[in-house]
Structure formats: structure tokens, C-alpha cells
Amino acid sequence: MLFSQRMGYKPVRDKIQKESLDQPTRNQLWNKYSDLLKNISNTDAVIELIWTGLYKQTKDTLPRNPYNYSPKQDWLRDYFIEKDWYESLDIIEFTVKILPSYTLDKFINYFNFILERECSAYRLINGKFTQITSKEEIQSIEDAINIKVNPVRTHLNQAFDLFADRKNPDYRNSIKESISAVECLVKKITGKSKFQAAVNELFNQKIIEHAAMKEALGNLYGYASDEDGIRHPIMDRDTIKSEDAKYMLVICTAFINYMMAKCKQSEIKL
């Protein structure tokens, strides 16, 4: 991981690929897509359908090999790799739509694996690419990791870097860092040394005004602390998924942003 990424200087929107796909991601998707084309019985018909059905071009303008009149794949690769980023997803989605499902399952899993590993905001679900990371979630993360309270900011930056590391994501420790950021903040606000005591104090001082939020925060911390949770030493890293780490990161940053607003409202200096 580069210095700018380790230290959290690279913007969140650059790390989570939303409304973009970088070249390495598109290359990987193309490699797997070309494998899919090789795996089907009538590649020529699929390429022709993409030309006429997806791009609404006439059959006679389809680029063809002069020696056997079969459709060329060069134009398809160019569209996939070099045109606007969403062309890659359009081509995959259209192809999935016209092929029988029994040929697709393993390829859909591969596509989603690549998108997950490259920290893309999209997944192929039920034949359609779906956004799994909203603008609001990204904004919540950005706001929280830029707060001036340490070590809260340090924990959040580390949580995000571990989540967004495309080569070796560490979801287990990302979750640990997310909840540690919350733990640091509530202790700093209240001066209490124990998490639950700090949460109780927030409730007693009316900084947290709803008992349900107090209970939810305790449950969240418990999830990351009990024998089946993240902090237990025998927890198997492979059982923690990207969606678990993203959920914890988003919910913890949302709570931290909420608490910072409440502290400002109550004129609590940190």
C-alpha cells in the first residue's frame, strides 16, 4: 500500500470506485469476460447481438474478419476497455441477460469477486449491476475520518485502509478499528475508562437521548467483543466478509458524526 493510502491522504472516493472503474479493474473484468465468450457455443451470435441489440447498430456495419466473415472481437474489447467506464458493466449485464443461466453462475461469482476485491461500489445481482455503496455512506465515511479528534481519526483511517486495501483487505481488523474509534470517542467525551460506563454516562447526560440508541450501541460493541465476534482470538478471518466490514465502518462513522454534532450543540470541547 502506498504512503498516501496508508496515511489516509488519498480521498475516500478514489478508493471506493463509484461512478468509475480504473484500468486494472476493467482489465480483470475483460479477462474473465473473454473466458465467458470462449465458454459459450455460439460466440459470433452473442457478439452480433451486442452490436445490434445493445448498441443499436445495423448488421451490415458489424466489423467482420474478411477471410471467414465471422464478427471481430477487437471492437468489443475496445468498447469494454477504452470507452466510458460504464460500458464494461453494460456489456456484461447485456450478455448475462441473453445467455442461459446454467452457463453463468461461476462467471457471475468471478465478476463479483473482482469488483469486491477492487473495492467497487457495484455488484451483479439477479442479472443487474446494483450499487451497494451510496453517496450518503461515502459522505459519512469522509466526514468522520477528517475529524480532528485523535486517536479516533487514527482508528477510522486504519479501518478504512484495511477495508479498501485491494491487494490484501483485512475485514476482521477493519471492524475492530471501526468499533475502537467509537470506543475512543465515547470515553473521551465522558472521561470514563469502560465502554459501557461511558455509554451510560452519555445517556445520563442526555447526549444520547433515546434508550433504544443506547441499547443498539451496546449491542454493536458486543458484536465486536463477544466469543463469536471480532475480538475473539480464534475468530476465523475467512468468515468476515466485505459487507460486514462496510456495515461496521458506515454505522460507526455515522455514530461518530452524530456524536460530534451533539457535542457541538452541547458546547462540549474535545
pLDDT at 263 over 90: no
Between 125 and 249, name the one with better pLDDT. 249
SS (H, E, C) 227-241: CCCCCCCCCCHHHCC
pLDDT band (50, 70, 90) for residue 3? low
Given a cut of 70, whether residue 51 has pLDDT beyond it is: yes
What per-residue confidence (pLDDT) applies to 184? 93
Annotated domain spans of the chain:
17-131, 136-265
**What is the overall mean pLDDT for the chain?**
84
How many angstroms separate the Cα of 119 from the Cα of each of 20, 22, 115? 11, 11, 6
Q: What angle do CA 164, 169, 171 make, to 5 degrees?
A: 95
> pLDDT tens for residues 199-225?
899 888 888 888 888 888 888 777 766
DSSP 170: -
Pick 264 or 81 by higher pLDDT. 81
Task: Answer yes or no: are the C-beta atoms of 249 and 139 closer than 8 Å.
Answer: no
Note the CATH architecture for domain 136-265. Answer: Up-down Bundle (1.20)
Which range in 20-29, 167-176, 199-208, 239-248 is most confidently predicted, on average pLDDT? 20-29
Backbone angles phi, psi at 124, to 5 degrees: -90, 110
How far, in Å, are 30, 47, 78, 158 from residue 73 at the CA level? Answer: 12, 8, 9, 43
| pLDDT in the model for residue 77 | 95
Residue 232 has pLDDT above 60, yes or no: no
Determine the Cα–Cα distance for residues 38 and 40; give it in Å rounded to an integer. Answer: 6
Cβ atoms within 10 Å of 109's Cβ, excluding its own: 11
Out of 58-62, 174-178, 203-207, least confident range: 203-207
CA angle 141-195-223, nearest 5°?
A: 65
In whole angstroms, give the CA distance from residue 266 to residue 1: 40
